[in-house]
């Protein structure tokens, strides 16, 4: 499926990630998009690496599936 990934779609995935975890994840836009852990004030750790919006969306989808799988193993 070829469709454009909007900032709103990325933010909805971010909300899902933060609801499945203890939170603290954010998106950083700079020469692409990266999923990061931390805060803008205290620094952040890049989790995904920078990529296109499509790459960030795909990474976030896989990340969500991984979180769900890890929770199922508990």
Which residue, chain included where needed, has tokens 């750790």? Answer: 45
Q: What is the pTM of this model?
A: 0.88
What integer pLDDT is reported at residue 40 of this predicted model? 65
The domain segmentation of the chain, as residue ranges, is: 7-67
What integer pLDDT is reported at residue 42 of this predicted model? 74
Which residue, chain included where needed, has tokens 């952040």? Answer: 44
User: Alpha-carbon distance 9 to 45, whole Å?
Assistant: 22
CA-to-CA dists, residue 16 to 38, 53, 59, 67, angstroms: 16, 17, 13, 11
Residue by residue, pLDDT tens for the chain (74 residues) are: 567 999 999 999 999 999 999 999 999 999 899 999 987 677 788 999 999 999 999 999 999 999 999 989 87
What integer pLDDT is reported at residue 74 of this predicted model? 76
Give yes or no for a contact between 9 and 57, defined as CB atoms under 8 angstroms apart.
yes
Instruction: Specify the pairing of strand 33-39 against strand 43-46.
Output: antiparallel
């Amino acid at each position: 499926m070829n469709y454009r990934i909007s900032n709103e779609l990325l933010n909805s995935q971010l909300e899902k990630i933060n609801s499945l975890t203890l939170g603290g994840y954010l998106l950083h836009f700079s020469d692409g998009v990266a999923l990061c852990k931390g805060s803008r004030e205290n620094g952040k750790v890049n989790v995904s690496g920078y990529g296109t919006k499509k790459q960030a969306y795909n990474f976030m989808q896989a990340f969500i599936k991984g979180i769900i799988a890890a929770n199922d193993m508990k």
